[in-house]
Amino acid sequence: MRNLSINLKKSRRINDRSRARLLVLASTSPRRRELLAEAGYNFESIAPRIGERPISGLTVRELALRNAIRKALAVARAHPDAVVLAADTLVALDHRIMGKPTNLDHAFAILRALSGQTHVVCSGVVICHLRSGQFRTFHETSYVRFKKLSDQRIRDYFSKINPLDKAGAYAAQGRGAEIIQKIEGSYTNVVGLPMEETIRLLRRFGIASRECR
């Protein structure tokens, strides 16, 4: 009878883990989806129905984590049995947050400001499983130094990418080498999701990539 009880407990633990193995990315960002897919994860992608808005008095790290928590909870409440992954990535120069540009003139002004400077890229990341009450957060900071950019170089860069859907009006991947001199820290963080720590934490939630199974 005691062996049967132990087996039933083991079975429940296995069933709990298997139910938690659905991974949901609380984002439709092509860059985050690509990073997860390249790492070998099976996942669903759901856009959280929230707006991102700056709040005075918060540091770039605090705001990134706050936005990530709001995204995660918006999706997790509708999918409590899933492991939900959410992230928010912000660009800041001298503690001033550079959001997504509102138009091309704004994008041009952002790259002019970043030209020849070192700025911060900070991601807040949340992984949670609402049914079991598991909730983990972390932040990652990278430092990006831009080359000196002439107005013509900025125009050439914008002719090859769309800056309007990107924090800081640029992307590290693709044509990033044309404007970036050096990255200190996680490259994938600058792309939009710091994969090194994300992979480690996903394992703690029972989520492994296809390569690691």
Based on its alpha-carbon atoms, the radius of gyration of the chain, rounded to whole angstroms, reads 20
Q: Catalytic site residues?
A: 88
What's 21's DSSP letter?
T
Residue 36: other Cβ atoms inside 10 A: 23
Contact 72, 108 (CB under 8 A): no
Q: Compute the distance between CA of residue 122 and CA of residue 58 in angstroms, rounded to an integer.
A: 13
81's tokens: 């049995």
192 torsion bin: left (phi>0), alpha (psi -120 to 50), beta (else) = left
